[in-house]
Amino acid sequence: MELHPITRAIRIQTPHTAEMEHSTPLFLTSSFCFDSADEMQAAFADQSDDNIYSRFSNPGVNEFVDKMVALEGAEAGVATSTGMSAVFSAMMALLKNGDHLISCEAVFGSTHNIVKKYLPDYGIKCTCVSATRMEEWEAAIQPNTKMIYLETPTNPGLEIIDLEWVGKLARKHGLILLVDNCFATPLNQRPIDFGAHLVLHSATKWIDGQGRVLGGVIVGESALIKTIYLFCRNTGPALSPFNAWVLSKSLETLDVRMERHAKNALKIAQALEHHPKISWLKYPYLPSHPQYEIALKQMKNGGGILCFELKGGIESGRKFLNSLQLLSMTANLGDSRSIASHPASTTHGKLSEEERLKVNITPGLIRISVGLEYDQDILNDIQQALKKC
Ligand SMILES: *Cc1c(COP(=O)(O)O)cnc(C)c1O
């Protein structure tokens, strides 16, 4: 029977042990035994799928990966310890000295450090391009360009990049398109359907969805995944079996969770859009969003994140955070609990104002990761905090 990816995210399961458990057990073991020297030899010679050692593979980790492969419509995948080890491993496995990379300027802060600070030391140069000035992308292509890297929606400015357009550009020039799909999740957006070769996630965010564990995953074309898998197998950023077990169980509820996150976020975005203390509010599924049409084309809903600019600037941002009673002040996103952050005074506090503006971090920018609490409670807290700034 052909099963929908949503069903497969619930039903893909490691074969039962002799106990006939219903839910997947936790395979907390560093290595696996063999019945004979022949079987062990075959496993090491890649002539069987038997697990050998949990740095290479583990049943629970495989289950998590298989579910992500199904959800993203990919061929194969590999799990990693964190989102950042997914980013770093994919780049290090596929790029070499002399290669050139094009990355969207507005990427996760640590990703920006990898492409601008660390990769150049290995002879891999990167050109950063604007999320919205698409003419910069084709102009950045050089004879040695190997890969295009992007996130959409971008963090924290929520710009939307046209995946179909970039997918075509990458295929026309024979470049690998790697998309960080963390903000949208595969339930909302599937970059592979638009031409991406590889998709990665910080599973720490919506995939866990309850702020418990760190994890990462890369899925996509088999040949590319094989290269990344061997890099990870040798260098060691393995996902812990415990975290894989948590994440695999989380995938069983991802669809319903993301639907509710998006429903709450849309309601809050609509209610706050014209608030007198706010100069603008961005949410991909509001018609006022500059890339609304692209969002409709490639996203099933607007996602769980919205952002707005306080008229009072940086001081208002601090006052807003200090006035919150329900929303958490924490450096995460994608949680059942709503979270507010003020990038200018926190995550991007070390940058100069000019550097911040280059990545669209305006002084009064507030990012809200909308949780699963009762929607009116979230809205009431934001509204009472807005009164005080
Ligand atoms: C958090 C995040 C990462 C990094 O993930 P970790 O699990 O914290 O290593 C990468 N990309 C995006 C978009 C993120 O939000």
Same domain, yes or no, for 299 and 237?
Answer: no
Going from the Cα of 169 to the center of ligand 1, the distance in angstroms, rounded, reads 26
Residue whose CA lies nearest to ligand 1 atom number 2: 202
Contacts of 320-325 with CB under 8 Å at 24 or more apart are 320/366, 320/385, 320/386, 320/388, 320/389, 321/385, 323/384, 323/385, 323/387, 323/388, 323/389, 324/381, 324/382, 324/385, 325/381, 325/384, 325/385
Give the tens place of pLDDT for each residue, 253-269.
Answer: 999 999 999 999 999 99
Same domain, yes or no, for 314 and 292?
Answer: yes
Going from the Cα of 84 to the center of ligand 1, the distance in angstroms, rounded, reads 6
Is the Cβ atom of 204 under 6 angstroms away from ligand 1? yes
Same domain, yes or no, for 76 and 53?
Answer: yes
Give the tens place of pLDDT for each residue, 76-131.
Answer: 999 999 999 999 999 999 999 999 999 999 999 899 999 999 999 999 999 999 99
Task: Give the three-state DSSP class for 279.
Answer: strand
Going from the Cα of 255 to the center of ligand 1, the distance in angstroms, rounded, reads 20
Same domain, yes or no, for 275 and 218?
Answer: no
Q: What is the pLDDT of residue 79?
A: 98
Q: Does pLDDT of 176 surpass 90? A: yes
Is the Cβ atom of 200 under 6 angstroms away from ligand 1? no
- Inter-CA distances, 88 with 95, 149, 185, 216, Å: 10, 12, 20, 11
Same domain, yes or no, for 197 and 267?
Answer: no
Q: What is the pLDDT of residue 331?
A: 86
Q: What is the mean pLDDT of the chain?
A: 96
Going from the Cα of 335 to the center of ligand 1, the distance in angstroms, rounded, reads 13
What is the band of 173 on the pLDDT scale with cuts at 50, 70, 90?
very high
Which positions ≥6 away from 312 have C-beta within 8 Å?
277, 319, 364, 389
Domain final residue, candidates 198, 225, 251: 251
Residue whose CA lies nearest to ligand 1 atom number 7: 83
Contact (CB, 8 A) for 277 and 311: yes
**What secondary structure letter does DSSP report for 386?**
H
Is the Cβ atom of 207 under 6 angstroms away from ligand 1? no
Domain final residue, candidates 200, 219, 251: 251
Same domain, yes or no, for 209 and 64?
Answer: yes
Same domain, yes or no, for 120 and 196?
Answer: yes
User: What atom of ligand 1 comes closest to residue 87's alpha carbon?
Assistant: 10
Same domain, yes or no, for 235 and 291?
Answer: no
Counting residues of the chain whose pLDDT is more than 70, the rounded percentage is 100
Is the Cβ atom of 83 under 6 angstroms away from ligand 1? yes
Same domain, yes or no, for 258 and 247?
Answer: no
Q: CB burial class (10 A; 0-12, 13-18, 19+) of residue 389?
A: buried
Residue whose CA lies nearest to ligand 1 atom number 8: 83
Q: In whole angstroms, what is the distance from residue 56 CA to residue 53 CA?
A: 6
Give the tens place of pLDDT for each residue, 203-226.
Answer: 999 999 999 999 999 999 999 999
Q: Which of 6-20, 138-152, 351-365 has the highest mean pLDDT?
A: 138-152
**What secondary structure letter does DSSP report for 156?**
T
Is the Cβ atom of 335 under 6 angstroms away from ligand 1? no
Going from the Cα of 3 to the center of ligand 1, the distance in angstroms, rounded, reads 30
Same domain, yes or no, for 139 and 261?
Answer: no
Q: Does pLDDT of 359 surpass 80? A: no
Nearest to 314 by CA among 379, 366, 383: 366
Is the Cβ atom of 216 under 6 angstroms away from ligand 1? yes
Domain final residue, candidates 198, 218, 251: 251
Going from the Cα of 234 to the center of ligand 1, the distance in angstroms, rounded, reads 23
Q: Does pLDDT of 278 surpass 90? A: yes
Which positions ≥6 away from 57 have C-beta within 8 Å?
51
Q: What is the pLDDT of residue 17?
A: 92
CA 384 from centre of chain = 31
CATH code, 305: 3.90.1150.10
* Mean pLDDT, rounded, for 320-335: 96
Give the tens place of pLDDT for each residue, 181-203.
Answer: 999 999 999 999 999 999 999 99
Q: In whole angstroms, what is the distance from residue 318 CA to residue 366 CA?
A: 10
CATH code, 127: 3.40.640.10
Going from the Cα of 196 to the center of ligand 1, the distance in angstroms, rounded, reads 19
Is the Cβ atom of 68 under 6 angstroms away from ligand 1? no
Residue whose CA lies nearest to ligand 1 atom number 11: 108
Q: CB burial class (10 A; 0-12, 13-18, 19+) of residue 382?
A: buried
Same domain, yes or no, for 141 and 111?
Answer: yes
User: What atom of ligand 1 comes closest to residue 183's alpha carbon?
Assistant: 13
Give the tens place of pLDDT for each residue, 26-78.
Answer: 999 999 999 999 999 999 999 998 999 999 999 999 999 999 999 999 999 99
Same domain, yes or no, for 244 and 261?
Answer: no
Residue whose CA lies nearest to ligand 1 atom number 6: 83
Q: Does pLDDT of 351 surpass 90? A: no
Please count the structural domains in the chain: 2
Instruction: Show the domain range for 247.
Output: 5-251
